[in-house]
Structure 1
Amino acid sequence: MDSSKFGFVSPSGGPPFEAHLEKLDEPAKSILLDLRAFVKSLGPNVIEEVRPHRIVYAKTLTFRTFLDIEPAGGDHLIIEIRAGRQEAPVRATVRTQQDADEVKEKIAQAYEKVR
């Protein structure tokens, strides 16, 4: 059985998603899991690529990146949202669930804009 279909192993052969969780304390760990579920719920064409220092989300196989999440310092996440090539990326530091809730709308808008 291919465990990458369930998000446990990075299809690129990079580190597993759980490697980033291990570096985080609460509430950052729970926030990362919540953001991951939210992003994957945006559509069936969301692609997650786990890299050594961050998690990248893209739309379709052409890999149109719209979101980077970097676990940082154990207690927070650094989020970079890209709504397209013409727009400057938006960066946010997420330390609380309220911070995460505030960036979700921007993430959804970026997902919709990326072609």
Structure 2
Amino acid sequence: MEGIISFGNKKSYEDFKKQIPNSVLPLFDSIREFCFSLGDKVVEDVRMHRVVFCKSMTFRWFVDVEPEKEGVIIKIQKSRKDPIQTIQIKKDQKISEFSQTIKDAFEEIH
């Protein structure tokens, strides 16, 4: 799959999905799909408890997504100088409510 880079024995997204509550999985997947839709420079880094999306191999992350029981916590970084924005999305909310903020972060991160 494009955009996935593995270093050593890191988890795959398929393994990571097993720890996401079933009720939250559609939201998490829609966030993931949206991040990949931003362009071919998006790199996914699956970590122990979250998935981080970076811009190209410089690994300047723009979105950090962590599943919770009732939704998802998203941390958004537009630059290293700006404070990190934290958004909590409930499982019944749509990613479209936050897509412009995520897109802006992707475009502004260097």
- The normalised TM-score by structure 1 is 0.83
| Divergent runs of 4+, >3 A | none
Question: 2 CA distance for matches of 1:47 and 1:6?
Answer: 8
Cα contact 1:10–1:16 (8 A) shared by 2: no
Matches within 5 A, 1:1-115: 5=1, 11-12=6-7, 13-73=9-69, 75-115=70-110
- The normalised TM-score by structure 2 is 0.87
CA shift for structure 1 position 6: 5.0
Cα contact 2:27–2:94 (8 A) shared by 1: no
Question: 2 CA distance for matches of 1:79 and 1:15?
Answer: 20
In the alignment, residue 98 of structure 1 is paired with which amino acid? Q
Size of the aligned set, in residue pairs, is 109
- What percent of counterpart residues are identical? 28
Give me the CA root mean square deviation: 1.9
